Amino acid sequence: MKNEAKRIFEKMVDFKRFAISLLAVGSFFYIGLIIPDTANTVSDLYIMAGSSLVFLIGSIYYFMLSKRCRNKLNETDEGQEYLMRK
């Protein structure tokens, strides 16, 4: 059971890292969208808006998975001990 808690904890940390990375990339796309540039066409703006939205939705999804893993760890005694040590 200790190995299971460790595996869930590692997944939680990985999901949070993925979420932060996707949030950063989505934010950069959004910044590129709001900074005016005369070279951007309407299709480029739609592509940037769509990609920003996809990355931000992916970030939310991975944050939810991380939260679900944290809740699983909080349900077990071994998981709570593992969270307290880390």
pLDDT of 26 above 80: yes
Write down the domain spans for the chain: 2-85
> How many Cα atoms within 13 Å fall on the side-chain side of residue 23?
11
The whole model's pTM is what? Answer: 0.84
CA pair distance 51, 43, nearest whole angstrom: 12
DSSP secondary structure letters along 19-81: HHHHHHHHHHHHHHHHS--TT--HHHHHHHHHHHHHHHHHHHHHHHHHHHHHHHHHHSHHHHH
Question: What pLDDT is stored for residue 58 in this prediction?
Answer: 97
- Between CA 13 and CA 32 the distance in angstroms is 29
- 37-76 pLDDT tens trace: 766 788 888 888 899 999 999 999 999 999 999 999 999 8
pLDDT value for 86: 66
pLDDT at 1 over 70: no
